[in-house]
Structure 1
């Protein structure tokens, strides 16, 4: 029985096991499948929902910010270099131009030739010592600066060597082909390409071409895509700044001035030539001067054009203007005669002629011929001080000429109350002392005698012209102001002619030409008042031609040395040299004297 029961029990377990393996899934199994599906779908839904939120955040909330960032990576803001406009003279000779130059770095660790070979070849091209170059190449392995401004022709020779290790970096530099010829007018620009003197400074806006920033597309590797560049963005106008200066006349003026400064061991000097009809300056020279290509090697005071920026007392060169004032005011006529005994008492002061001599009976023309201080005092004493003061203001004293050159200063005239109360003030002003102006302003005032009585604006800028010579932009100048009548000015010019033909201006006489002029030898005012005993300014101003006055020439020399240093001996010969060059350049025909 036991054995039988054991077999029945085993058989029963075996049958139950087979039944479990072969039975159909029940309710419990179905619930497990549903749970797993729920979990999977929940994960998918949550992930999709999260992805949607993230996409919303990226596209809607952060969209503008990300778009801007993408564009900044794909686009490149470029401000192309636009060369500064050229400066040319009245004959289209180039005075200033932008040109490509190269900075040369040398990397000896990259040489494909021996150090000796490289040093030898570079020394020949750069004008340097080969041994010194070898030493530098052996001492430093890379980044040796040999030059920061090599001209393009030199760079081409270096490229032709095909040496590895030569690093030429191109940039643009301002170049002045005439060097110091017109430095006083043109000026220079500094390393930041900003004008620091002359026209380069005062006409900065006209010289800089307009530029605009452009956005260029970049490829994935960062390189620019030229196909997407705006059309013509690198093109610029061909306008040039034309000046009224004539380089040929400028060269003559500089040569004559330099020669005489050396002869008389003078401190400095200036020459100005102006067309009185319109105020255009044909020449403006100061000496000593500087080369704008190497401005860093000169003293800063040289950059300041003293003919425009420094005041001085003009002395006798102002006498023709006082004659014009007296004629216009009606207190004298050309045939009046005055007694010049060599001295005159004004209040508690004694005034004398420069030579301490009297000239006897002198008419107006002889007062100019002999530069009589006594005659001038007596002429101005016929005017009320207040009326004379008003005339001095009318012709521009106390103001500036409004030239287009930088750093101009106002001329100085004492306050009206002091001038009219003290009799000595009108007396000294009659022969050009007691007030101060710039050499350029004197030329402007004397120019009114050469154009029928109009005060014009001295200027050097003609305007912006294109490559064919067509004028596009002209500067706005103050309109001419009538201060004297044409009849008065012609009388004064004819009186000034006798100064050259018979008087102190005879060294400026040119055969066949009628030239009006006036010499001046003025005392220099001291820094603490009064006048310096051992310093004077000599000058000569002229107008030509007399029959049709147009051109004004001023030569001025500061502190010449020597006992015989006067306007007639120092300045008049300079003016003569300049006029001899001016006559053929401007086609001035010879004329007969009407004396």
Structure 2
């Protein structure tokens, strides 16, 4: 045996060993990279590929009148969505051939009449790619049943339902601005639905679904919170009781509609209140809307004018000024007032509503016949500071604090900015602004 042949063999063995060490080291380093450095990222990637989240909620709480009669209720109903990538038939395992039909086109043609939309528009959604697209939220139970039957009878892939809460306003337009309405995500957008959203909103539980590479579900629903039961117990839904009386509300709204028709008014508001407790028994605003289909109405109809409309109260404010005078001891019901039909304050002349004077009359007559000149005389004796101070004590110039959004506070002068004519006109209910609720 030649010595050189032995050396060549030794070199080849050494080179092979080095190569094996390098390969093993490379594999080892790669494993460290994947299982240590990239571990968190790969876990999240795997989870996103194999799991899908499913949110199951409970219905929104009820709103009822003072007698417990339902005015707003919710039920769980289906919301239809599509997974466009899965809208295709599976491959036939026997002959390895795909069934020749266009699931997307078939789905669009069958669902369009039920969803009341254009088939071509649906087909465009189905061919647009992606893994999730809403087709219709909170469907009516009858409508959802029709869609489920179509999916089952035609074995349509990639179409699924999620349970969501659907709101119903049982009295339709009655107390619409008070109740308000919610959006498609069960979030209050107006009225008490907005103001008390945290109280009324149903709870949600997030589940995960395991599926394989082609989207088939492998296991049942799993609650993401390990300490949570798989089948959550039925929760007692919150209920909001109003001071409103549905029967009184109906009569009030009927009268409002009649008044609007007779007067051709553009807007109005009315309130029925218990004078002993201050409870609101009825509150109506016009124009109005049906909160079950609020999107079909202009936003102007959503406004609750009973708490947001401001205007000069006029003669309604006179008894308030009278109370100020009685409290301060400036007048009594029998105090005599000279009424000449007109009175001049600085450069302004203020007349009675009929331009006539009644001579010397007691203050009770001033109130009874709404005599401007008598009220101006009282207002001038009270002065700006006392007028404004008492007005604030009566609650004018700031919101009442009723649990309704959008309440205005009205307008009051700063007494430092008032001149004599301002004091005089405020005494007859001008130059001050209030809401129907404040009045």
Q: Which TM bucket (shorter chain)?
A: 0.7 to 0.9
Which of these residues, 141, 155, 169, is aligned with residue 152 of structure 1? 141
Cα distance in 2 for partners of 1:385, 1:45 equals 99
1:362 alignment partner, SS class: strand
- Residue 247 of structure 2 aligns with which residue? 248
After TM superposition, the structure 1 = structure 2 runs for residues 439-454 of structure 1, keeping only pairs within 5 Å, are 439-442=436-439
Cα distance in 1 for partners of 2:80, 2:28 equals 57
1:440 alignment partner, SS class: coil
After TM superposition, the structure 1 = structure 2 runs for residues 395-544 of structure 1, keeping only pairs within 5 Å, are 395-419=394-418, 422-442=419-439
Q: Identify which range, 228-237 or 300-309, moves more after superposition.
A: 228-237
After TM superposition, the structure 1 = structure 2 runs for residues 7-406 of structure 1, keeping only pairs within 5 Å, are 41-73=17-49, 76-99=52-75, 100=77, 110=106, 150-156=139-145, 164=154, 172-191=165-184, 193-211=186-204, 214=206, 216=208, 218=210, 220-221=212-213, 223=217, 225-226=219-220, 228-229=222-223, 230=226, 231-232=228-229, 236-276=235-275, 279-406=278-405
Q: 1:209 to 1:192 in 2, by over 3 A?
A: closer
8 Å CA contact 1:219, 1:225 repeated in 2: yes
Q: 1:218 to 1:101 in 2, by over 3 A?
A: closer
8 Å CA contact 1:110, 1:165 repeated in 2: no
8 Å CA contact 1:216, 1:225 repeated in 2: no
Cα distance in 2 for partners of 1:279, 1:286 equals 19
- Displacement of 1:285 in angstroms is 0.3
Q: Flag structure 2 segments of 5+ consecutive residues without an equivalent.
A: 83-102, 127-134
Q: 1:58 to 1:299 in 2, by over 3 A?
A: closer
**Larger of the two Rg values belongs to structure:** 1
8 Å CA contact 2:193, 2:200 repeated in 1: yes
The TM-score normalised by the length of structure 1 is 0.57
- Displacement of 1:191 in angstroms is 4.3
Cα distance in 2 for partners of 1:373, 1:35 equals 123
Cα distance in 1 for partners of 2:211, 2:136 equals 35
What are the superposed Cα offsets for residues 351-397 of structure 1, whole Å, 9 maximum, x if unpaired?
22222233344333333322222222233333233322322233233
8 Å CA contact 1:109, 1:165 repeated in 2: no
1:382 alignment partner, SS class: helix
Q: 1:372 to 1:232 in 2, by over 3 A?
A: farther
- Displacement of 1:104 in angstroms is 11
- Residue 86 of structure 2 aligns with which residue? none
Q: 1:298 to 1:44 in 2, by over 3 A?
A: closer
- Displacement of 1:89 in angstroms is 2.3
Q: 1:330 to 1:56 in 2, by over 3 A?
A: same
8 Å CA contact 2:187, 2:201 repeated in 1: no
The TM-score normalised by the length of structure 2 is 0.74
Q: Flag structure 1 segments of 5+ consecutive residues without an equivalent.
A: 1-24, 443-595
8 Å CA contact 1:75, 1:215 repeated in 2: no
- Displacement of 1:237 in angstroms is 4.7
Q: Identify which range, 230-239 or 333-342, moves more after superposition.
A: 230-239
- Displacement of 1:289 in angstroms is 0.9
- Displacement of 1:282 in angstroms is 1.9
- Displacement of 1:324 in angstroms is 1.3
8 Å CA contact 1:310, 1:409 repeated in 2: yes
